Amino acid sequence: MIQQYLKSVSRRKAISIFGATAISMALPWQAHATVDAVAARINEITGGANVIDDLISLDMPDIAENGNQVNLSFEVDSPMTADNYVKSVYVFADGNPDSDVAVFNFTPAMGACYATTRMRLSKTQNVYVLAALNDGSFAKAEATVKVTIGGCGG
Amino acid sequence: MTDVKPRVRVPKTAEVDEIIEIKTLIRHPMHSGRVIDGDGNTIPRQIITSFEAKFNGDTIFSVEIKPSVSANPFITFPFKVTEAGTFEFIWTEDTGEVFNLSKKMKVE
């Protein structure tokens, strides 16, 4: 069985596999963020305030074949009026070298609160979206993304 | 060094109260400073750190960007049309370099 598998792997591919392994082993200093680190960041922003779990719909793939380009799309249910709007949306990833991904700053002039971008995921991990509303309240959503090939140069 | 090139798609005309979608892309490597090239040298960090969208001089949307955002940062967002005017899009690199693009929009 193993013999058959080895035969099916071309010489070039075998070299590239060993090469990739060697590079990833050569980078033990690549520390990653943790679930606790993200929880601490969220706590730092909210100041311990209550965070509700609905309001945000977060759209990410369940499985990302390429961690270099993972679609991130979120929408916060908000009227986006001068009295009631979303100020900022923070994005965190608990398995990347840095847990902070991006901060989106919204204004009532946008009329709706959504955005899309593409992000890197170095391995299978959770992505968190935290929305800060103008009245001082917060909402969050999270998603787990399985990553086949990591996207942080590792 | 690859050329950094911004691109934006905004409707040329829109109706008042319509919520349009603005699509932005900047061709940029987003070197995180963690990747090692074929010769064993670390590729120096070079990232876009912020993006800002203005309409008739007022900031309508901005993003603080970290290396976890993919190469060629692509961002889409909504905007509610109130009047005709000019959008200005500004990307800032960690080197301090700034890239600009502006787009006009008419109202029907």
Interface of A with B (CB under 8 A): 23, 26-27, 30, 68-70, 80, 93, 96-98, 100-107, 109-120, 151-154
Answer whether residue B107 is part of any domain.
no
- Which structure tokens are listed for A93? 């990833």
For residue A29, pLDDT over 60 is answered with no
Count contacts between A and B (CB, < 8 Å): 100
Which helix (H) or strand (E) segment holds residue A92: the answer is strand A86-93
pLDDT of residue A24 exceeding 50, the answer is no
Domain count, chain B: 1
Q: Could you say which of A69, A97, A112 has the minimum Cβ distance to residue B34?
A: A97
> Is B70 a domain residue?
yes
> Do B75 and A116 make contact, defined as CB atoms within 8 angstroms?
yes
* 3-state class (DSSP) for residue A21: helix
Q: Is residue B12 part of a domain?
A: yes
Distances (CA, A) of B1 to B30, B66, B68, B71: 12, 20, 21, 14
Q: Summarize pLDDT for B91-105 with one digit per residue, the tens.
A: 999 999 999 999 999
For every residue of B28-40, DSSP letters joined together read ---B-S--B-TTS
Residue B91 lies in a domain: yes
Q: Where are the domains of chain A?
A: 31-149
Q: What is the CATH number of the domain that holds B38?
A: 2.60.40.10
Say if CB A99 and CB A42 are below 8 A apart: no
Nearest-5° Cα angle at A64, A62 to A67: 140
State which residues form the domain around B70: 5-102
Place of tokens 């961002």: B75
Between B19 and A22, the higher pLDDT residue:
B19
Domain A31-149: which topology? Immunoglobulin-like (2.60.40)
pTM for the whole structure: 0.85
Q: Given an 8 Å threshold on Cβ–Cβ distance, is A109 in contact with B62?
A: no
Average pLDDT of the segment spanning A72-82 = 97
